[in-house]
Structure 1
């Protein structure tokens, strides 16, 4: 990831707490966890688009 963009993200408290817990369980920062999950979803969507 060479270039980045900074955003402000508003999350429901319960979703934020869940993401924090998930990030801690795999020893990632909250930011890294969000980026990881978005990349996984993007890759899955791209794979689905390529499927017949």
Structure 2
């Protein structure tokens, strides 16, 4: 297993924690489940493309750095 840090907004964390509680899973198990389900719907012909559109690349959000005060 690989460990890594993931920063998410507070509201998304609350939604994920509530869903994990509903599904009687730990937050980690819920995240793994959601990732596996999400990736199982990706077509092999168009991996990593939202909506299966292979012509338009995914644009990264932000500059990849967290804001600093």
Shared fold (TM-score, shorter chain, > 0.5) = yes
Which structure ranks higher in relative contact order (CA pairs < 8 Å, sequence separation ≥ 6)?
Answer: 1
Deviating beyond 2 angstroms after TM superposition, the runs of 4 or more aligned structure 1 residues are none
| TM-score, structure 1 as length reference | 0.80
Aligned CA RMSD, in angstroms, stands at 1.1
Q: Larger C-alpha radius of gyration, 1 or 2?
A: 2
Q: Quote the residue 1:17 is aligned against.
A: 14
Q: How many residues align?
A: 45
